[in-house]
């Protein structure tokens, strides 16, 4: 049995618990919250054996195989560092940290202690994400030229989105997915970035349009935001066809078109629970193989994405207390 300990008892921890409740040979062994009452209620809800009123107690639990950090962005660095310094492998919810400086420090600390650390950017670990690349490489859509990705939810009332002290904004919460989507399929040779945000009265980005131009003439157009709902689609367009991905952060359906005719369809695995399980399965595989990073989301990629988001926020004037000015 592979046992997780969760730091933070919010909604995303709830989704992880709901997922692993149906995963064979995996379980949530412990939950920690700053409120013992909240941790205890969470444990009772999901049949978890240990509830802790402090994060320090959880990371000292010798029965935990992996710590999952499920707190707001503003606290990822602090809580992941706590796990690392107690020699606990750690999976940190996206966005990995508030900024690239924190990411580099965390990864350096993990490497110095030979401790596994990964980012819970679940898109990277999904079975259909790999399939998209295989389709592109097959040549069925010709030469890929243009990528579009949209991911929007109506979330403007959520505290974690609108409060700078929690490192809020759409970019770290949603834009991180569209940026990863573009990087997974169009790479890193970006020669120009053009962006336009909508900034809230509190000073965080609520929606952004980002256009990336690459050295090979490709272009990615990305939309992410917390002001409205949209189709959450990704489309990769080539000279002879295109690939449509339903839900860029959790791919559930791929349709392949050649000359505007649907020629192939791929669906999520029948045994998929929520999709959260795949990142935990990858962490287990890496830990059991003695790795300290996942090849599906290498440390260098984590840092590069954080630097990309830092640059965008700097351009927009979005500043967090975590930023070292």
Q: Which residues contact 155 (CB under 8 A, 6 or more apart)?
A: 161, 173, 226
User: Would the pLDDT of 202 be above 90?
Assistant: yes
CB contact at 8 A, 295 and 287: no
CA nearest neighbour of 102 among 114, 122, 89, 119: 119
CATH number belonging to the domain at 2-120, selected among 3.40.50.720, 3.50.50.100, 3.90.320.10, 3.40.50.300: 3.40.50.720
Q: Are strands 26-32 and 2-7 parallel, antiparallel or unpaired?
A: parallel
User: In the CATH scheme, what is the code of domain 127-274?
Assistant: 3.30.360.10
Residue range 43-52: mean pLDDT, rounded:
98
CA nearest neighbour of 97 among 67, 118, 83: 118
Q: Which two tokens stand for residue 5?
A: 């300990």
Q: Compute the Cα dihedral for 248, 252, 257, 261 and give only its sign.
A: negative
Please report, for residues 1, 82, 325, the alpha-carbon distance to residue 5 in angstroms, rounded to integers and kept in the order given: 13, 13, 34
Residue range 66-93: mean pLDDT, rounded:
98
Q: Which residues contact 32 (CB under 8 A, 6 or more apart)?
A: 5, 6, 7, 8, 9, 39, 51, 52, 53, 54, 55, 57, 58
The pLDDT tens digits of the residues spanning 121-153 come to 999 999 999 999 999 999 999 999 999 999 999
**Position 325 confidence tier, pLDDT thresholds 50, 70, 90:** low
Judged on CB neighbours under 10 Å (0-12, 13-18, 19+), 298 is: middle
Spatial distance between the Cα atoms of 256 and 140, rounded to a whole number of angstroms: 8
The pLDDT tens digits of the residues spanning 81-123 come to 999 999 999 999 999 999 999 999 999 999 999 999 999 999 9
Domain regions of the chain by residue span: 2-120, 127-274
Q: What is the pLDDT at residue 226? A: 98
The rounded percent of the chain whose pLDDT value lies above 70 is 100
Residue range 221-246: mean pLDDT, rounded:
98
Helix (H, G, I), strand (E, B) or coil at 232: coil
User: Would the pLDDT of 324 be above 90?
Assistant: no
Helix (H, G, I), strand (E, B) or coil at 272: coil
The pLDDT tens digits of the residues spanning 160-200 come to 999 999 999 999 999 999 999 999 999 999 999 999 999 99
CA nearest neighbour of 248 among 135, 128, 161, 96: 128
């Amino acid at each position: 049995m592979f046992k997780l300990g969760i730091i933070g008892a919010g909604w995303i921890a709830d989704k992880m618990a709901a997922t692993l409740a149906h995963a064979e040979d995996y379980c949530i062994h412990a939950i920690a919250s700053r409120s013992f009452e909240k941790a205890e209620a969470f444990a009772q809800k999901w049949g978890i054996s240990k509830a802790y009123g402090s994060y320090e107690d959880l990371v000292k639990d010798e029965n935990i195989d992996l710590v999952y950090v499920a707190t707001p962005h503003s606290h990822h660095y602090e809580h992941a560092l706590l796990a690392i310094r107690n020699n606990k492998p750690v999976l940190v919810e996206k966005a990995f940290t508030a900024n690239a400086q924190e990411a580099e420090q965390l990864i350096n600390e993990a490497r110095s202690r030979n401790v596994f650390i990964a980012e819970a950017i679940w898109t990277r670990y999904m079975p259909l994400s790999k399939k998209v690349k295989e389709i592109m490489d097959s040549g069925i859509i010709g030469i890929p030229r243009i990528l579009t990705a949209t991911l929007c939810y109506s979330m403007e009332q959520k505290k974690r989105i609108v409060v700078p002290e929690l490192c809020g904004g759409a970019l770290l919460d949603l834009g991180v997915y569209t940026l990863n989507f573009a990087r997974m399929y169009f790479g890193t040779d970006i020669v120009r970035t053009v962006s336009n945000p909508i900034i809230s009265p509190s000073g965080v980005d609520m929606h952004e349009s980002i256009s990336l131009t690459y050295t090979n003439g490709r272009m990615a157009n990305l939309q992410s935001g917390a002001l409205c709902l949209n189709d959450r689609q990704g489309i990769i367009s080539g000279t002879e066809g295109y690939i449509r991905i339903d839900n860029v952060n959790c791919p559930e359906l791929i349709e392949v078109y050649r000359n505007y005719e649907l020629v192939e369809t791929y669906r999520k695995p029948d045994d998929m629970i929520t999709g959260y399980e795949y990142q935990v399965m990858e962490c287990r595989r890496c830990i059991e193989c003695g790795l300290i990073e996942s090849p599906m989301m290498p440390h260098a990629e984590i840092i590069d994405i954080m630097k990309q988001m830092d640059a965008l926020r700097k351009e927009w004037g979005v500043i967090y207390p975590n930023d070292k000015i």
